A and B are shown apart, each in its own frame.
Chain A
Amino acid sequence: MLLQTLLSGVLVGLVYALVAVGLTLIFGVMDIVNFAHGEFLMLGMYAGFWGWALWSLDPLATLPLAALLLFAFGALVYRLVIRRILDAPMLSQIFATFGIMILLRGLAQYLWKPDFRSVGETAVAGTLALGSLRFGRPQLAAALGSVLASALVWWFLRYTRPGAALEATAADREAASLMGIDPGRMFSLAWGIGAACAGIAGVLICTYQPVFPEVGANFILVAFVLVALGGFGSVPGAFWAGILIGIVEVLGGFLVGPAYKMVLVLSLYLVVVWLRPQGLLGRA
């Protein structure tokens, strides 16, 4: 039972991780907190849902297209809104992304009604039993997809030229631009990848989570905790923090009582931030 709970926690945590990876990337590169990140996730979920509802496409088949769409959407949001407030006071930046959040939620409600929707049978339906352990295939697929997507982001940052340029911009915007890196393109790239991560997570979880306009709110608080816990801007940090928080939430909730699961998560966060203000893997 404990092992089952532990592994369930890991599965939950891996999805959190992917959401947080996108968020931390945007923050790391340009120091802007994206309050609309949960709404990018929501858009991903709707992409999965509509693909299934309109063209009976399996969410897994929709995934690449949804990732591309969200990438483009993230970059567009950067071009249209974020670019104009790069040098604005922090409060304006917060209001801008907050405004995008409300706008996207409102649009989703207007266009797709506030109803709860859900994808029916998919390629990953059913459960997998290993001895006494049971895993939902949709949850397994989501966790696996999250690992792959997070690994891809990590590989991109580590081993490709644009990735290195992105890291360079994150480390020192001015020095990077002196080296011939266009910060605007990098920012746009960061928003694209960040939104794509949330979108991929959204498509992955729409196989077992109800889809509705305000669903992003359920994830965004945890994502913020992960970003701070893992270290602002640290992609591996957000990833490992995701797994850790998933375990604490599910296993802790199981052992101590579900009413306390958020208390446990936020206490852990407080302790870490107190002992290591830069987060687990953050740069001091």
Chain B
Amino acid sequence: MSSSSPPAVPTRRIPLLDPPAAIGECAGCLRRTILALCLLLAGSARAAEEVRIGMILPLTGAAASTGLELRNAAELAAEIVNTPSGDFALPLAAGKGLPHLGGAKIRLIFADHQGNPQLGASEAERLITQEKVVALLGCYFSAVTATASQVAERHGIPFLTGESSSSTLTRRGFQWFFRTTPHDELFVQNFFAFLKDVEKKKGIKIKTLALLNENTLFGSETTKLEEKLAEENGYKVAEKILYPARSAQLTSEVQRIKAAAADVVMQSSYLGDAVLSIKTYKELGYAPSALLANDAGFNDSEFLKTVGKDAEYVLSREVWALDLAERKPLIRKVNDLMEKRHGVSFNGNSARDFTAVLVLAEAIDRAGSTAPEAIRKALRETNLPADQLIMPWEGIRFDATGQNDKGAGIIVQVQGGKYATVWPFPLASREIVWPMPDWSKR
């Protein structure tokens, strides 16, 4: 006390020399104190009724339509948390707001990154420092999620991505980064789990695989992984072809694949080459037991329209499908809400972001606090069972890298001109057709 008082003496003397200023200064002190008190009160009052969460999405630009879809899904999730929504098995659906935070509501604050990683980072900065959000969600594009989550990491704010699937994101050793969706590698691992399941179910042995992948990063990374996993799982890669996606013909590629006579063809293609390959398979009368496609071109909404009935029996991976509702009634109920509120059904992306909002809200509620450290701790301890999710996952539990290790994709098959879920078998809406019938028998 005594040591701190001497410096105070001169400052007290100055007001004596200049009384008007002294009055002004004291008044200023008082004003500031009152203001600070008010802010403090306001701050704590707000904490009781509103938890601010930032979400960065491509709301304009080339992916704007997807961004808006994701925003709609996230808003629906927030509404389910904030208002009593009936007898859903979803987390936080029953009550009003977050019960452990005195019924506080969550408020989503959206920002637009326009598909630009730099803008994503600066919006993350703005949301954290100016909007005072307690956690971040986003960003759809893995490249933007990478930069935005870097900002969150620096500020020590939890970042949860619901749909960015580049496997590198969870390999950066980040402490504040979480991901609910399976990443790209897990999807490829799913293919092999699927093949094993088919062998068991059908009592057959699959021996050889042929890999037909386009030669940019997507296809070549997939090829490496497929080769590695094939070896681990005891399958022989009879043929491996990387081809340029912009090809005028794929005749030699398909001839090679046909000559290899592999049981299963695994293919990663964009739209144009996916279409061309199907036409060439038909031309050369080549039908393996199964054509297992890796999303992308095969799941493009134009693919089925373009190829028509020649696409029948093609298998592909998916993250979600509406026909899962046949085995999981919760999906139907939630989808009805989505239809009512936004006039569209869920798709793989919007279902995943809907889930991410609920997972984050549930963790914040469990934390009972909006302190970032408490939220991170709660996220680490997250353990949601499958029956509280609209996803085909076994649950949500984050491993040390922040990756949900209970996620999985599904395998769909074109049947009757539509993609139907055929795997995992307990979630299947249709029986899988295996092997694929010969072209002459269609």
Residue A93 is within 8 A (CB to CB) of chain B in the complex: no
Residues in B neighbouring A8, C-beta threshold 8 A: 251, 255, 284
Q: Of B215, B275, B300, which is within 8 A of A118 by CB?
A: B275
A209 to B280, alpha carbons, bound, how many Å? 10
A212 to chain B, nearest CB (A): 7
Interface pair B248/A222, CB less than 8 Å apart: yes
Within 8 A of B (CB), among A117-144: 117-118, 120-121, 127, 129, 134-136, 138-139
Annotate A107-120 by CB proximity to B: 1 below 8 A, 0 otherwise: 00000000111101
* Inter-chain contacts of B243 with A (CB < 8 A): 258-259
Neighbouring B residues of A253 by C-beta, 8 Å: 251-253, 256
B61 CB to nearest chain A CB (Å)? 15
Max chain A C-beta neighbours (<10 A), residue from B252, B302, B307: B252
B276 at the interface (CB under 8 A from A): yes
Which residues of A lie under 8 Å from residue B244 when comparing CB positions?
Answer: 262
Does A64 lie at the interface of the complex (its beta carbon under 8 Å from any beta carbon of B)? Answer: no
Q: How distant is the Cα of A254 from the Cα of B255 in the complex, in angstroms? A: 7
Chain B contributes a number of interface residues (CB within 8 A of A) equal to 31
Contacting pair A254 B283 (CB below 8 A): no
State how many angstroms separate the Cβ of B252 from the closest Cβ of chain A.
Answer: 3
Q: How far is the CB of A268 from chain B (nearest CB, A)?
A: 15
Contact B285 A134 (CB under 8 A): yes
**Cβ contact within 8 Å between A1 and B259:** yes
Known contacts A208-B283, A258-B241; is-contact A116 B255 (Cβ 8 Å)? no
The answer to whether B284 and A134 have CB atoms under 8 Å apart is: yes
Interface positions, chain A 1-52, Cβ under 8 Å from B, are 1, 4-5, 8-9, 12, 16
Asked if B332 is at the interface (CB within 8 A of a chain A CB), the reply is: no
Q: Contact check: which of B249, B251, B275, B439 meets A116 at CB < 8 Å?
A: B275
Q: Which B residues between 294 and 327 are near A, CB-CB below 8 angstroms?
A: 300, 302, 306-308
- Contact among B241, B253, B306, B439 with A117 in the assembled complex (CB-CB below 8 Å): B306
Contacting residues of chain B (231-267) with chain A, CB-CB under 8 angstroms: 241-244, 246-249, 251-253, 255-256, 258-259
With A258-B252, A259-B215, A259-B242: A209-B276 Cβ-Cβ less than 8 Å: yes
In angstroms, how far is the closest chain B Cβ from the Cβ of A45? 12
Whether A127 contacts B255 by the Cβ 8 Å rule is no
Partner of A218, one of B246, B256, B259, B275: B246
Cα distance, A82 to B425, chains bound together (Å): 63
Contact (Cβ within 8 A) A261 B306: no
Q: Could you show 27 A-B contacts with beta carbons less than 8 Å apart? A: A1-B258, A4-B284, A9-B252, A16-B248, A115-B302, A116-B306, A118-B275, A118-B306, A134-B283, A134-B284, A134-B285, A139-B283, A210-B275, A212-B272, A215-B272, A217-B246, A218-B246, A219-B248, A222-B248, A250-B251, A253-B252, A253-B253, A254-B255, A254-B259, A257-B256, A258-B252, A261-B252
Q: Which residues in A have some Cβ–Cβ distance to B below 8 Å?
A: 1, 4-5, 8-9, 12, 16, 115-118, 120-121, 127, 129, 134-136, 138-139, 208-210, 212, 215, 217-219, 222, 249-254, 257-259, 261-262
The 8 closest A-B pairs by CB, nearest first: A253-B252, A136-B283, A118-B306, A218-B248, A210-B275, A258-B253, A254-B252, A134-B285
18 more CB-based (< 8 A) A-B contacts, given A8-B251, A12-B251, A219-B248: A4-B255, A5-B255, A12-B248, A115-B302, A116-B272, A118-B307, A127-B283, A127-B439, A134-B285, A136-B283, A138-B283, A210-B275, A212-B272, A249-B249, A254-B259, A258-B253, A258-B256, A259-B243
